[in-house]
Structure 1
Amino acid sequence: MTSCKIKPIVVDLNIGDQLTLISCGHVVVELIKFIAFQRLQIPYTYQWLKQIVNKKKMCENRDKKESFQSERHFHIASTALDNLDFILKSLLQEMSGSSIPEEVCIALGATPMTCKEMYRLILPTLCHKPQCHSSHIASDQKIQRSVFRTMVTSESLSKVFFDSLPPTNMHIFIRRNSLNNLNIPNSDSFELTSGCRIPRKTKIVVMNFRTNKENVSCCNDFEIFGETGGNNEDLDMEKKINFEEEFEEMESTDTMKWYQSTYVMKGFKDCVVNGNSVTNSWNDS
């Protein structure tokens, strides 16, 4: 009997025409941090874990002996955070370039071909430029509050988060339109890949940044190789076609190229000894 494919869960973030290239990058980065913590790939929030790891790194009290468990856990945690930081830094480079990716994909699993969960962030086709003073633009804080309010109140997403996911590997991909030579990665951390076919049992969550209408003409009155950006109907049709994909695969084609981050974050659990987390000792180092 053939197993049924799990239907993707679509979450419309309803951001509207509020994003600059920079703020879009910030939202993507915060979403990845949120997913890493929410899906138990890191035992604490990114902000707290980063703070406590940095404190131990800067510790000058070399006379204090740490337990084997503490030292081993510190190596695991610091390596995972370093890799995650490299990924986030590279993504910010991609988002602040001349053109943003069509999509950012987060695959959780031993390998992309065997991933258990996949989060596909469908990015806006256009964003305001950083120097734009449009009244539509909202602050990073306001946008992030709106995005995370949508996520935590989504019943369909809560069902995904209800089932725990053991620590595994986090793989990051970006998808770019390859119709012109300008649409290539800005960071050396992303390498061209042929992509992969997604397992039928993979839980797929699609986070849609796009809206039916994007009024960013104030920032995008330009031409590339003598070609205009097209009319609104063309843009709307392109969004509809892209968004109606069945998300069964992520394979490079003549018009779309997938790039994979060379860094992989390995998820980890907390280390508890005698009922206490060893990270508590790092505060006292």
Structure 2
Amino acid sequence: MFSSNTKPTKPIIVNLNIGDQLTSISCGHVVVELIKFIAYQRLQIPYSYQWLKQVVNKRKTCEEGNRNENLQSERQFRIASASLENLDFILKSLCQEICGPAIPEEVIIALGGTPVTWKEVYRLLLPTLCHKPQCHSAHIANDEKIQRTVFRTLVTSEKLSEVFFHPIPPTNTYILIKKKLTGNQDVVLNTDNFVLTSGCRIPRSCKTVVVDFRTHHGNNLSCCNEFQVFGDIISRNFDDLQIDDKEDDELNEIESTHNMKWYQSTYIMKGFKDCLVNGTSVSNIWLQS
């Protein structure tokens, strides 16, 4: 237990300021790639997502009788394939929520054994509104350009590199989303994939990274008809986007209220280490089998 007068670790803020360039689809794609990036950078998967997908799929296609591997390799395959399957479920269901009628206000990627023992938390503050997929605004950037901008910002951030410099052992990866309640109806598309949670207090020793997608250029969103109705509200909201010290304590709390609800993914990815057989990665055996 931490004493009540222990100050929480100060959050690291990374401002992307790309909200006015995003459609709901491209926003979902960026968030998905961020999760893959964090999973690999924080050593929750021993290979990049693309390589993990390739070696697991190659291993699955091998006929049982043609496999030439030991029990250690078999066990590692079960661990890797289970982690990949859960990660894929997380990415698919999260992308559906972001591309749905109500975009989440926030996505949390949390690393730790349990919600009360999280080691690192990444809070993605999503745009309140995104362009419609069919919008042809000149402000919209394509996925490739947006992802280059996002990951260039992340890898050149000195504060973030300090976090990445200190590895954490494989643990559980939790995904939570925050949505505004509309009436008495569930605001998630699939209650089998995301379940309502009352929330929790982020441990004071936990490292918190805030990635802010939001933008100061609210006028760039007025090209879509639905945005014009709320134009005045958007303008006022964009005047108060700066995250300051007063919000530090709030960034260490996750709490559902009467109009804002937190939902946790029913899928949890368990991190795992690489397995060496005769001095080489077991993934090489899977590719050669």
The two structures have a TM-score, normalised by structure 1, of 0.93
Measured after TM superposition, the shift of residue 154 of structure 1 is 0.1
The 8 Å contact of residues 250 and 258 in structure 1, kept in 2 or not, is answered as yes
Aligned to 1:254: 258
Question: Which of 210, 215, 228 lines up with 1:206 in the alignment?
Answer: 210
Aligned to 1:65: 68
Aligned to 2:145: 142
Distance 1:230 1:182 in 2: 27
Secondary structure, aligned partner of 1:170:
strand
The 8 Å contact of residues 13 and 207 in structure 1, kept in 2 or not, is answered as yes
Which residue identity is paired with 1:262?
Answer: T
Which residue identity is paired with 1:199?
Answer: P
Distance 1:278 1:218 in 2: 52
Secondary structure, aligned partner of 2:21:
coil
Structure 1, residues 4-25: CA drift from partner, whole Å, max 9, x if none?
3210000011325110000000
Distance 1:241 1:148 in 2: 21
Aligned to 2:81: 78
Q: Which runs of 5+ in 1 are unaligned?
A: none
The 8 Å contact of residues 93 and 187 in structure 1, kept in 2 or not, is answered as no
Distance 1:84 1:66 in 2: 26
Question: Which of 21, 24, 45 lines up with 1:21 in the alignment?
Answer: 24
Measured after TM superposition, the shift of residue 229 of structure 1 is 6.1
The 8 Å contact of residues 17 and 216 in structure 2, kept in 1 or not, is answered as no
Measured after TM superposition, the shift of residue 3 of structure 1 is 3.3
Question: Which of 169, 176, 181 lines up with 1:166 in the alignment?
Answer: 169
The 8 Å contact of residues 18 and 137 in structure 1, kept in 2 or not, is answered as yes
Distance 1:236 1:50 in 2: 40
The 8 Å contact of residues 22 and 130 in structure 2, kept in 1 or not, is answered as yes
Aligned to 1:55: 58
Structure 1, residues 223-267: CA drift from partner, whole Å, max 9, x if none?
9xxx85643333225645899633121010112100000000000
Distance 2:109 2:281 in 1: 29
Measured after TM superposition, the shift of residue 187 of structure 1 is 2.4
Aligned to 1:197: 201
The 8 Å contact of residues 119 and 207 in structure 1, kept in 2 or not, is answered as yes
Secondary structure, aligned partner of 1:129:
coil
The 8 Å contact of residues 36 and 49 in structure 2, kept in 1 or not, is answered as yes
Question: Which of 253, 276, 284 lines up with 2:280 in the alignment?
Answer: 276
Aligned to 1:38: 41
Distance 2:11 2:268 in 1: 24
Q: Does 2:239 align with 1:234?
A: no
Which residue identity is paired with 1:235?
Answer: N
Distance 1:266 1:205 in 2: 21
Distance 2:184 2:35 in 1: 28
Aligned to 1:119: 122
Greater Cα shift, 99-108 or 177-186: 177-186
Number of residue pairs matched by the alignment: 282
Q: Does 2:183 align with 1:217?
A: no
Measured after TM superposition, the shift of residue 178 of structure 1 is 1.6
The 8 Å contact of residues 256 and 262 in structure 2, kept in 1 or not, is answered as yes
Give the superposed CA RMSD. Answer: 2.1
Secondary structure, aligned partner of 1:258:
strand
Q: Does 2:129 align with 1:131?
A: no
More helix by share: 2
The 8 Å contact of residues 221 and 227 in structure 2, kept in 1 or not, is answered as no
Q: Which runs of 5+ in 2 are unaligned?
A: none
The 8 Å contact of residues 99 and 183 in structure 1, kept in 2 or not, is answered as no
Give the direction of change, closer, same or farther, for the CA distance of 1:14–1:238 in structure 2 (3 Å limit): closer
Which residue identity is paired with 1:115?
Answer: W
Question: Which of 15, 39, 49 lines up with 1:12 in the alignment?
Answer: 15
Aligned to 1:3: 6
Which residue identity is paired with 1:69?
Answer: Q
Measured after TM superposition, the shift of residue 106 of structure 1 is 0.6
Give the direction of change, closer, same or farther, for the CA distance of 1:98–1:142 in structure 2 (3 Å limit): same
The 8 Å contact of residues 202 and 253 in structure 2, kept in 1 or not, is answered as yes
Aligned to 2:96: 93
Measured after TM superposition, the shift of residue 96 of structure 1 is 0.9
Identity %: 63
Which residue identity is paired with 1:22?
Answer: I
